[in-house]
């Protein structure tokens, strides 16, 4: 029989993977990996503020991630720096400020390793409720803007001409990204969130025949990565969060093996 904490860890990881897979497809299609890193690093600043102000950690991380995203959009319109330079500036600045804030709060004991790399084995029933309720809200929101968001990804000008309001879809996508990072932080940590978003989606691209199919395959590969990573962590006594990412990397490596007679139907 499996221990309760391990069952909770499995359920938490599966819940995050089901949400991260479809959302990660848009990150891959839009080449926004660095943007995801920036929001993930901002999560540590959200944790520091939640401890300082004694507010809910998930809500604080969500609020800080949205604030960083809005700041990025605002600075991007000034055109004083390139987008990659802005991403690097905000990403590392948010991470550094978060670490400095945590260092100043000497009256609070903080598990920094758990924040950076996740502590999925310590997931509580309340965390599970947050993951599944928040994940359901994110998937519902993604389904509502899927058509407009995909059109904006393929051709923003054409999407605007057809009245799909791509700017609104992009803004809502940013909110969904912040939501996923807020609920996934405890599972894989600040430094590994982007990996769980990107790697299953990148592996699914090889086998997909369309965008919806790629989203489903990415979610499935994410679930398999969680299960394989946790069982590997249990058997080999390795850190749980990194083990999940390593399992995802193994699936990605397998997806690169040439399959004779099989041709990729859908590229972009």
Residue 186: its pLDDT value, please?
Answer: 81
Question: What's the domain range around 168?
Answer: 4-255
| pLDDT higher than threshold 90 for residue 222 | yes
> By percentage, how much of the chain surpasses pLDDT 70?
95
CATH of the domain at 38: 1.10.3470.10
Q: What is the rounded distance in angstroms from the CA atom of residue 207 to the CA atom of residue 239?
A: 30
Q: From CA 154, how far away is CA 30, in angstroms rounded?
A: 9
The answer to whether residue 225 sits within a structural domain is yes
Identify which of 228, 209, 13, 201 has the alpha carbon closest to the alpha carbon of residue 120.
13
pLDDT digits (tens, 9 = 90+) for 197-212: 999 999 999 888 899 9
Asked whether residue 202 is assigned to any structural domain, the reply reads yes
Residue 225 phi/psi, 5° resolution?
Answer: -65, -40
Stated pTM of the model? 0.90
For the cut 90, the answer to whether the pLDDT of residue 248 exceeds it is: yes
Residue 260 is assigned to a structural domain of this protein? no
**pLDDT tens across 4-53, in order?**
899 999 999 999 999 999 999 999 999 888 888 899 989 999 999 998 88
Rounded to whole angstroms, how far apart are CA atoms 213 and 255? 16
Residue 260: predicted pLDDT: 65
Q: Please, what is the average pLDDT of the chain?
A: 89
Domains contained in the chain, number: 1
| Residue 61 belongs to a domain | yes
- 267 within some domain: no
Q: Using alpha carbons, list the distances in angstroms from residue 59 to 43, 65, 101, 187, 254.
A: 10, 10, 18, 16, 37
Residue 261 domain flag: no
CA distance 92 to 167: 26
Structural domain includes residue 227: yes
């Amino acid at each position: 029989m499996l221990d309760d904490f391990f069952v909770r860890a499995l359920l938490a990881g599966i819940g995050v993977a089901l949400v991260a897979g479809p959302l990660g497809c848009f990150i891959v299609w839009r080449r926004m990996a660095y943007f995801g890193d920036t929001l993930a690093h901002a999560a540590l600043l959200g944790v520091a503020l939640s401890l300082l102000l004694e507010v809910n950690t998930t809500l604080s991380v969500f609020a800080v991630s949205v604030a960083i995203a809005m700041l990025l959009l605002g600075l991007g319109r000034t055109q004083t720096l390139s987008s990659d330079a802005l991403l690097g500036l905000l990403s590392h600045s948010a991470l550094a400020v978060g670490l400095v804030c945590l260092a100043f709060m000497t009256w609070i004991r903080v598990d920094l390793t758990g924040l950076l790399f996740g502590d999925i084995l310590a997931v509580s029933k309340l965390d599970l409720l947050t993951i599944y309720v928040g994940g359901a809200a994110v998937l519902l929101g993604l389904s509502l803007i899927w058509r407009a968001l995909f059109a904006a990804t393929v051709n923003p000008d054409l999407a605007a001409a057809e009245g799909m309001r791509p700017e609104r879809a992009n803004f809502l996508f940013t909110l969904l990204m912040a939501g996923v990072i807020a609920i996934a932080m405890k599972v894989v940590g600040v430094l590994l969130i982007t990996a769980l978003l990107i790697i299953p989606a990148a592996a699914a691209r090889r086998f997909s025949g369309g965008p919806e199919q790629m989203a489903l395959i990415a979610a499935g590969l994410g679930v398999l990565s969680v299960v394989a990573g946790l069982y590997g962590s249990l058997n080999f006594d390795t850190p749980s969060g990194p083990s999940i990412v390593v399992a995802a990397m193994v699936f990605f490596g397998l997806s690169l093996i040439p399959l004779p007679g099989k041709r990729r139907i859908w590229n972009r």
